[in-house]
């Protein structure tokens, strides 16, 4: 498995083509089944109520949500009140391979990006511990991913994430600022109607 460094921070790694086409298609089928049970919802920013440009769902024991009351993890879907579906085995196996010393993941955030959607620079810091990495899987159209340092003032660089690519934010890079600048429509045929799905695996509670 080839890994490519993408920033001076240790613990940040890029695995291009981690999932081949067959594995992507199989994983997509599982994500579709999850979303049928836990439908995509439209998160909004705390305080302002401004909607995100992406739609979300989750799988695993906990799910990340954002609403007028703030960011948090919770065990149930905000609209249906039902527990989140279980994580696919392909994702837990990915975690075991790339983060063998970390406790098991507790949340997989599912972000769906339509053409025109984006995600501003941010840190993943709503968890109780930062010893475990955040592992991200891309499915569908290519995205322009931007990553910086632990300070918002640090310089950033961007590169493209294609369908099947995996990125790990661990070690010094666990709290690196990162975001999605744009989606390059028509760059993948995995999703019938286009768009991008991002799956983000996270450990939430202290081991």
Convert the pLDDT of each residue in 26-58 to its tens digit: 999 999 999 999 999 999 999 899 999 999 999
Of all residues in the chain, the percent with pLDDT exceeding 70 is 96
Number of CB atoms found within 10 A of residue 160's CB: 13
Convert the pLDDT of each residue in 171-206 to its tens digit: 999 999 999 999 999 999 999 999 999 999 999 999
Q: How confident is the model at residue 7 (pLDDT cuts 50, 70, 90)?
A: low
Q: What is the pLDDT of residue 14?
A: 93
Q: How confident is the model at residue 3 (pLDDT cuts 50, 70, 90)?
A: low
Q: What is the pLDDT of residue 6?
A: 63
Q: Average per-residue pLDDT in the chain?
A: 94
Contact 199, 87 (CB under 8 A): no
Contact 75, 61 (CB under 8 A): yes
Asked: is 4-202 a CATH 3.30.200.20 domain? The reply is: no
Query: Is the pLDDT reported for residue 170 higher than 90?
Result: yes
Query: Is the pLDDT reported for residue 68 higher than 60?
Result: yes
Q: Domain map of the chain by residue range?
A: 4-202
């Amino acid at each position: 498995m080839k890994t490519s460094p993408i920033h001076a921070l240790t613990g940040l790694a890029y695995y291009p083509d981690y999932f081949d086409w067959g594995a992507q298609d199989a994983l997509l089928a599982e994500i579709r089944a999850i979303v049928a049970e836990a439908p995509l919802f439209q998160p909004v920013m705390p305080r302002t109520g401004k909607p995100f440009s992406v739609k979300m769902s989750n799988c695993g024991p906990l799910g990340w949500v954002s609403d007028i009351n703030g960011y948090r993890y919770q065990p149930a879907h905000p609209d249906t009140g039902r527990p989140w579906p279980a994580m696919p085995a392909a994702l837990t196996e990915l975690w075991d391979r790339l983060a063998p010393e970390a406790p098991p993941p507790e949340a997989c955030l599912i972000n769906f990006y339509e053409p025109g959607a984006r995600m501003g620079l941010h840190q993943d810091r709503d968890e109780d511990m930062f010893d475990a990495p955040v592992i991200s899987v891309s499915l569908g159209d290519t995205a322009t991913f931007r990553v910086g340092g632990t300070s918002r003032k640090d310089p950033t660089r961007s590169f493209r994430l294609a369908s099947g690519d995996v990125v790990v934010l661990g070690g010094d890079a666990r709290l690196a600022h990162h975001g999605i600048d744009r989606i390059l429509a028509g760059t993948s045929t995995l999703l019938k109607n286009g768009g991008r799905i991002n799956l983000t695996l996270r450990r939430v509670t202290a081991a």
